[in-house]
Amino acid sequence: MENKILKKGCGTVVSSMTVERALFNMEEVSVIAGGLIRQGSSRPVSSVAIDSRQVTADALFIPLPGEHFDGHQFLREALTNGASALLLADRVWPLEGEEVARQAREKGAALITVPDTLRALQDLAGNHIRSMTDLTSIAITGSSGKTTTKEILGSILRREAPAIINEGNLNSEIGLPLSVLRIKGEHKYAVLEMGMNHAGEMAVLADIVRPEVALITNIGRAHIGLLGSQERIALEKKEIFKFFDDRQLAFLFEDEPFFEYLSSKVRGKIIPFGPRSTPGFEGSKDLGLAGSIIYWEGFQIHFPLFGTYNLVNALSSISVSVELGISKRKIKLGLQEAKPIFGRSQVIRGAVTIIQDCYNANPDSISRVLGFVRKLSWRGRKVMVLGSMLELGQDSAQAHRQMGREAGLSGLDAVIFFGIETETAYSAALETGFSGFLSFTADFEKLIQKLQGYLREGDLLVLKGSRAVELERLIPLLAMDRLEG
């Protein structure tokens, strides 16, 4: 973009030491986290960990309460592994504080009590990113496509300058601050995915990052069981723009049904993306599992991720990159080098070619994959394993019936439904008069047996289901020497 995005107003920021040397000193940790130093230390904080096993020398260990364990149980281990400081919840101090302080003193580490350890982690991350005066922060959310979009945009921006993206799926109220705290002074771009599965979480994440660029990929039905409706999902996703002050950029899909609502009263520039809106887009050619050719600004770009949904993710990344002033050549290179990540649009080629797209599943992503596979030109048979879609709440039965109807009308050669929730999908598929091999099981061993007895060389196997179903477990068990078909 012609004019560099103005840095957001950040209020009072406690200065930090050079990032390459240290993140904070003990006084800074105490002030930022609203804590009290119970045991001092002159050692620096060079990293932050919430898992005592990941503590390294001079790390700040922040114990968080969990469903099965409380991080306060592992304070001694964190000290043994080299922590320079421990946070301790105020509620724990009367019970264990003196003993923990003694242990910290023996290791030359600090002990700081805080009202809430999770809030302390988030506050430290927010302070850290707002101390990065040369950083452009880009936040991405949406019901689907946000991780892939993050990867594509990161691939482009790395051609321009040092850039960092969330590792793996560190995009929650716990994971995002850990990602933010890994940003270093050398980084010029931070591309940060923001996930959300309960009301209020997006506002917390937006407050941490205060992004200068924010993109919503789409509003779908993922997590609808936790939020109640798509309208509620849209309301929560819109919170990514909450801290805009007229100097930021908001990107929305041109055909997003909630476009008007999402763009209403946003204090920033609204920029649509998509086939009609992305600057310089001239069309595309579908290459099946090999991806597509994107015709853009006179270039023919081989984009390796398959499906029209990934093409839209590429167009969103182009739109953001153009606004940021990235050169055409670097955008082209970044698109060409984009790679699928675990469980998302992965193609595993072999005697049986496998599409591993089982990191997550919701009604919208199921429909997109079924549509892609139905149209895909393939010499062999098309086989699909559809696992349960979770976190759909009261909509689960209806959503699974819809999945079954769509699968039954897909024209595939075989569909196997896996998981208790998919029994209704199986019944719905039967009602369509599906002419291929159709089956249902909730037993993983029986699923393996069905596949080993059916698959043969030349088949295409598509794995799609929610993360907890763990369909990727099938892959090492489906070696050709174990197939009977």
471: left (phi over 0), alpha (psi -120 to 50) or beta: alpha
Could you tell me if residue 14 is inside a domain? no
Query: How far is Cα 339 from Cα 396, in angstroms, rounded to an integer?
Result: 32
Query: Per residue in 130-157, pLDDT tens?
Result: 999 999 999 999 988 999 999 999 999 9
**Which residues, 6 or more positions from 414, have their beta carbon under 8 angstroms from its beta carbon?**
381, 382, 383, 384, 436, 437, 438, 439, 454
- Return the closest-CA partner of residue 170 out of 121, 134, 127: 121
Is there a contact between 112 and 31 (Cβ–Cβ < 8 Å)? no
The whole-number pLDDT of residue 485 equals 42
Instruction: Tally the residues of the chain.
Output: 485
Buried b (16+ CB within 10 A) or exposed e, 213-234: bbbbbbbbbbbbbbbeebeebb
Query: How far is Cα 208 from Cα 139, in angstroms, rounded to an integer?
Result: 11
One domain, residues 152 and 253: yes
One domain, residues 210 and 258: yes
Query: Among 85, 115, 145, where does a domain finish?
Result: 115
CA distances from 383 to 201, 282, 290, 485 (A): 38, 34, 19, 13
Q: Taking the CB of residue 90, how many other CB atoms lie within 10 A of it? A: 14
For the beta sheet containing 189-193, the strands, ordered from the edge strand earlier in sequence to the opposite edge, are 163-165, 189-193, 136-141, 213-216, 248-253, 268-273
Query: How far is Cα 306 from Cα 344, in angstroms, rounded to an integer?
Result: 10
Could you tell me if residue 2 is inside a domain? no
Task: Give me the CATH number covering residue 148.
Answer: 3.40.1190.10
Helices in 91-169 by DSSP H: which ranges? 93-107, 117-130, 146-157
One domain, residues 302 and 407: no
pLDDT per residue rounded down to tens, the chain (485 residues)? 333 333 333 333 333 333 355 899 999 999 999 999 999 999 999 999 999 999 999 999 999 998 889 999 999 999 999 999 999 999 999 999 999 999 999 999 999 999 999 999 999 999 999 999 999 999 999 988 999 999 999 999 999 999 999 987 789 999 999 999 999 999 999 999 999 878 899 999 999 999 999 999 999 866 565 666 889 999 999 999 999 999 999 999 999 999 999 999 999 999 999 999 999 999 999 999 999 999 999 999 999 999 999 999 999 999 999 999 999 999 999 999 999 887 788 999 999 999 999 888 888 889 999 999 999 999 999 999 999 998 788 889 999 999 999 999 999 999 999 999 999 999 999 999 999 999 999 999 999 999 999 999 999 999 999 989 999 999 988 865 445 44
Nearest 10 degrees: Cα torsion 230, 232, 234, 236: -140
**Which residues, 6 or more positions from 432, have their beta carbon under 8 angstroms from its beta carbon?**
404, 405, 408, 409
**Which residues, 6 or more positions from 123, have their beta carbon under 8 angstroms from its beta carbon?**
32, 33, 34
Task: For residue 16, give the H/E element and its range.
Answer: none
One domain, residues 189 and 53: no
Query: Among 64, 86, 115, where does a domain finish?
Result: 115
Could you tell me if residue 315 is inside a domain? yes
Task: Give me the CATH number covering residue 80.
Answer: 3.40.1390.10
One domain, residues 351 and 332: no
Is there a contact between 429 and 422 (Cβ–Cβ < 8 Å)? no
Query: Per residue in 154-186, pLDDT tens?
Result: 999 999 999 999 987 789 999 999 999 999 999
Query: How far is Cα 249 from Cα 246, in angstroms, rounded to an integer?
Result: 8
One domain, residues 401 and 313: no
DSSP 436-474: SEEEEES-HHHHHHHHHHH--TT-EEEEE--GGG-GGGG
Task: Please give the distance of CA 127 from its chain centroid, rounded to a whole number.
Answer: 22
One domain, residues 321 and 354: no
Could you tell me if residue 319 is inside a domain? yes
* Residue numbers of the domain that contains 449: 346-482
One domain, residues 40 and 166: no
CA distances from 288 to 40, 145, 182, 291 (A): 61, 19, 37, 6
One domain, residues 193 and 319: yes
Query: How far is Cα 462 from Cα 410, in angstroms, rounded to an integer?
Result: 13
- Return the closest-CA partner of residue 315 out of 129, 325, 301, 327: 301
One domain, residues 393 and 461: yes
Is there a contact between 196 and 202 (Cβ–Cβ < 8 Å)? yes
Instruction: Indicate the pTM of the whole model.
Output: 0.87
Residue 168, Cβ density class (10 Å: 0-12 exposed, 13-18 middle, ≥19 buried): exposed
Could you tell me if residue 3 is inside a domain? no
Task: Give me the CATH number covering residue 394.
Answer: 3.90.190.20
Query: How far is Cα 183 from Cα 130, in angstroms, rounded to an integer?
Result: 11
One domain, residues 79 and 109: yes
Q: Tally the domains of the chain.
A: 3
Task: Please give the distance of CA 48 from its chain centroid, rounded to a whole number.
Answer: 21
The whole-number pLDDT of residue 479 equals 61
Could you tell me if residue 162 is inside a domain? yes
Query: How far is Cα 160 from Cα 330, in angstroms, rounded to an integer?
Result: 7
Query: Among 283, 316, 336, where does a domain finish?
Result: 336
Query: How far is Cα 445 from Cα 82, in angstroms, rounded to an integer?
Result: 44
The whole-number pLDDT of residue 341 equals 80
The whole-number pLDDT of residue 168 equals 77
Could you tell me if residue 126 is inside a domain? no
Could you tell me if residue 110 is inside a domain? yes
One domain, residues 198 and 275: yes
